[in-house]
Amino acid sequence: MEWTLEPEKELIIEDKIGHLRCDFYDGSLSNSWFDTHKELNKTQRTKVGTGLVRIINQIPDYDFIVDLCGGEGLDKSTNRFCSDENFIYWINFIPVMDSYHYYVHVYTK
């Protein structure tokens, strides 16, 4: 899964499955999943989970986010998009220490 910078990517809100909220506040990853589309079957949920794990594994710590964004601050927030055969993932990086550090919004293709 490769990330590409596509700041003008158009996503249809009705196609949103949910989002994962992540932070490294104490140095380790904490995250929470929020469903917006509960009609997914077990196979689809497994595929979403697999995609999220692949993304999480590529983001080792807060310093990685700061480097990716080119510094700290809300004005340095950066978006990345990637996809697999079923879903589009919009990763919103927020390099601010007292905030959630990234959100992964998941959409059906």
Domain ranges of the chain: 13-108
Does residue 36 have a pLDDT over 90? no
CATH code of 13-108, in short, is 3.30.450
Q: pLDDT tier at 95 (50, 70, 90 boundaries)?
A: very high
Give every CB contact of residue 104 below 8 A, 6+ residues apart in sequence.
19, 20, 22, 52, 55, 89, 90, 91
Q: pLDDT tier at 3 (50, 70, 90 boundaries)?
A: low
Q: Is pTM, for the whole model, over 0.75?
A: yes
